[in-house]
Amino acid sequence: MTAPRRGRPPLTDSADTRDRIVEAATELFYTKGFHGTGIAEISTVSGVQRGALYYHIKSKEELLWEIMRDYVASLLAEAQVIASTSDDPQTKLHNLVRSHVTLIIRYRREVSIQLRDGGAMTGDRAVELQDLRDRVQEVWQRVLDDGVAAGLFTTADHVITNSLLGMVNMVAFWYRPDGPHNPDEIADMLANTTFDGLVLKQRR
């Protein structure tokens, strides 16, 4: 239930305060889960008194929505730029994998939250989030379709598109900054593995 906003707003920098609230919620949802986190904990970690918290957020679910929306919107924006270039479909797909892996690693907390607690989103917000995710998938699908049409890829079946996105999304769970491979190396390894099974081999 959304708490009502009461009294005068606190005399603080609104954008900075909101950023602190979102960052606190992101870390708490990541470490403790959405359902395991209370508003009081977000208040404590962000340093914003609980009463003042509701000047900046509507509800805990609204925070969850913002966290997931922002990272999916970033994925979509970069994918659209890549897909709109004049590169051939194979280059576009490689760049999509590289971009997605880089962003998934950057937003690995948010990705983990979505994969674990995305079902907590309800109503119109759930519909809006799914629409954003569908639009990301549509960009990838278009690149695969173009690759088949150009005689470069063996298939553009939706199963392949879903599997590719699932593969790169799962990087968020096992990536470690101190691991043996950096994001670019991981992206290249995944792209090359994808191409081994997807790219149509030229006959000699």
**pLDDT given for residue 4 in this prediction:** 43
CA 46 – CA 28 distance, rounded (Å):
10
Q: What is the CATH number of domain 61-198?
A: 1.10.357.10
144 near 152, Cβ under 8 Å? no
- pLDDT tens for 117-149 read 888 888 898 999 999 999 999 999 999 999 999
Instruction: Tell me which residues of the chain have a pLDDT lower than 70.
Output: 1-13, 197-204
In the chain the first and final C-alpha atoms are separated, in Å, by 66
Which residues of the chain are in CATH 1.10.10.60 domains?
Answer: 14-58
pTM: predicted TM-score of the whole model, two decimal places? 0.81
- The arrangement of secondary structure in 14-58, i.e. its CATH architecture, is Orthogonal Bundle (1.10)
Among all chains, which residue has been given the structure tokens 């991981």?
Answer: 186
95 near 158, Cβ under 8 Å? no
